[in-house]
Structure 1
């Protein structure tokens, strides 16, 4: 089997692996400025697979997929039902925000073609793609996320995609450890130990309750896919009223249409009933910002979205609070705010007097989780990708007795 790492090698973003020159696993975007696309493509174009298999619906894994449908190219796209819908939401959002600019690698026509070539599959339902036998297994990351098992008749490849080995309120942890001849494993948090989720949740809830008791407003920047729904579930479980704003509203409705991909569909129904969705009409956001309440809003790193309205409204009051719910990438306004207490928000430089806190609600396996997962593959070659410390982690695995390495960007590996 031949694997060409077009993206995601020794980096986080633009995940893309070409198998045997014909089967493409993921095709994402690295959201730098300007965006970066998989190598061998110009703004996502120029790669011509026979079929595409997508692991889950996040921009760094599916953000450039419509660009594969330019010209006469019509490769079938295989994914789970939630990933299908989530990827199309992301594509439409990218088109709405950046259509006709270098920030958007595809046209509206190409986005509309996605539906024509989409083929959905559940977990443990084998299918054929570009002459390979493929199977999705639950990865425990977000609804519909999958490990991808690929068999070309000689070699069985396990592409982990993004995964979590601990339970979240939204989805159950991965429990699948299929036989494989080679594993391509993500390593996002290879050098991090997550605080136990129950402890994170308890600290978050206690902090929010303190602010509400003092009459303050809590803004929680959150990723639309996965994180918003997780926080809605936390709020409902602890009897905290909340507003939900941004793309997370549409995503919530999508995941509720696929209850078989949720840990507790009834809990998600209650969380939706507990939350109030914001329309943004007639100055609604400014009125909400004056309330003593919780506002869960995109974007998770303050790079856009309704958060741009809420922060200027609440930033000057030291009773108010901004609670980040995940990692803030270097160079983003969220990271700047955490480090310096000020940030460029919506074209304005804000020096924030509100309290700023950060909570690790990550949906990725940490160092212990990764090693636990890979314990099932002691005698299997491991190719480490999707991380900022891929080489280091591969070295750690080798020291522990694994056959491990970290391919370079653009490298072709024979396995």
Structure 2
């Protein structure tokens, strides 16, 4: 089995691995200005997708722009998330170099889609493929690829700690080689219950003091996690942006969330913002939490809320996800100012950061790999893949960290 790394190697973003020039695992984009795409657009016989985040599915429709129509295999939530993201990319960047596909390509995705549940083995490009719950977001999967001689386990993104939205991964299928993500290989996450309690106490304090809390959150996964927390602690909240659509979609797939009834209650607890008639401006004057995209303040309704609440030091902005260097969210944390619509605005409101990560941390990755101590491990999807591979090698693992464009035989 030969693996060719077209993206996601020694980096976070644009994940794409080609197996024997036949089976493609993921085809994402690396967000930025401009965005980056896999170094090659191949013609695979089939595509298998681990989960519905932009860095794993963002470039998928471009595979269908030519004469070939490879089937795309994924779980039902991943299919819907990928289509939602593709349509959003078209809306933001369609017709420019920042969008490598057309509306026609997106429509073709629906024509070649084949969905599967967890632990249901299916055939793709001559391989036996099985999905296992990866505990990252709804529908996320470890991907086991078996050619009859070699079993490759592609971890995708995974979490070994439980979240309110999804249960942690417990699957450890037999494999001959593991291709493992390493996003947080040098980080130890604070206990989730502790993070959650600090967040709740902070929000409740601000509301008691008469302030408003803006909660920037990624539309997929993080928005729903914050809704579940607000419902659990009876925090008055609004929800705005793409997270509204994603929440409703996930409710249609109850088998892929931890507690479908809890998600239903959380969706009913939050008041949905439609953005009409100055609604957003009025909301910023209320004592409530506003859960809104984008998670890094790079667009979306947050561009309305932050300028409106920034001048009052009683108000608060609670960042709930990792902030990529150079994004307005990262700049706000580091400088106390944010660039909104081309203007740098000083922010007097309090700014806080909370680690609600959906990735396994250093201990989580190592606990996962404990089941594969006698199995070769390829490290990818991280900013320090080579260093982590060296650390694992010092502990007796057979490891390497392929680079972009490398071909590895396993």
Quickly name the TM-score band, shorter chain normalised. Answer: over 0.9
**1:182 to 2:162 alignment:** no
1:12 maps to what in 2?
12
Q: Give the whole-Å Cα distance in 2 for the aligned partners of 1:250 and 1:344.
A: 27
**1:167 to 2:151 alignment:** no
| Cα distance, 1:412 vs structure 2 | 0.2
Aligned residues: 410
| Cα distance, 1:352 vs structure 2 | 0.3
**1:290 to 2:307 alignment:** no
1:373-394 per-residue CA deviation (whole Å, 9 max, x = no partner) reads 0000000000000000111111
1:67 maps to what in 2?
62
**1:324 to 2:348 alignment:** no
**TM-score scaled by length of structure 2:** 0.99
1:200-226 per-residue CA deviation (whole Å, 9 max, x = no partner) reads 000000000000000000001000000
| Cα distance, 1:292 vs structure 2 | 1.0
1:198 aligned to 189, 193, 203, which one?
193
| Cα distance, 1:348 vs structure 2 | 1.6
1:299-350 per-residue CA deviation (whole Å, 9 max, x = no partner) reads 0000000000000000010000000001101010000000000021122211
Matches within 5 A, 1:307-322: 307-322=302-317
Matches within 5 A, 1:259-408: 259-408=254-403
SS in 2 for 1:267: helix
1:43 maps to what in 2?
none
| Cα distance, 1:396 vs structure 2 | 0.8
2:113 aligned to 112, 118, 129, which one?
118
2:125 aligned to 121, 130, 138, which one?
130
| Cα distance, 1:133 vs structure 2 | 0.5
**TM-score scaled by length of structure 1:** 0.98
2:139 maps to what in 1?
144
Q: Give the whole-Å Cα distance in 2 for the aligned partners of 1:71 and 1:163.
A: 33
Q: Give the whole-Å Cα distance in 2 for the aligned partners of 1:28 and 1:152.
A: 24
Q: Give the whole-Å Cα distance in 2 for the aligned partners of 1:197 and 1:48.
A: 42
| Cα distance, 1:59 vs structure 2 | 0.2
| Cα distance, 1:158 vs structure 2 | 0.1
Q: Give the whole-Å Cα distance in 1 for the aligned partners of 2:96 and 2:311.
A: 35
Structure 2's unaligned 5+ residue stretches are none
- Aligned CA-pair RMSD: 0.5
2:208 maps to what in 1?
213
2:23 maps to what in 1?
23
| Cα distance, 1:33 vs structure 2 | 1.1
| Cα distance, 1:241 vs structure 2 | 1.3
Q: Give the whole-Å Cα distance in 2 for the aligned partners of 1:187 and 1:23.
A: 23
1:34 maps to what in 2?
34
Structure 1's unaligned 5+ residue stretches are 41-45
1:265-321 per-residue CA deviation (whole Å, 9 max, x = no partner) reads 110010001001100000100000111110000000000000000000000100000
1:97 aligned to 92, 95, 100, which one?
92
| Cα distance, 1:137 vs structure 2 | 0.3
1:132-158 per-residue CA deviation (whole Å, 9 max, x = no partner) reads 100000000000000000001110000
Q: Give the whole-Å Cα distance in 1 for the aligned partners of 2:32 and 2:264.
A: 36
| Cα distance, 1:73 vs structure 2 | 1.5
| Cα distance, 1:75 vs structure 2 | 0.4
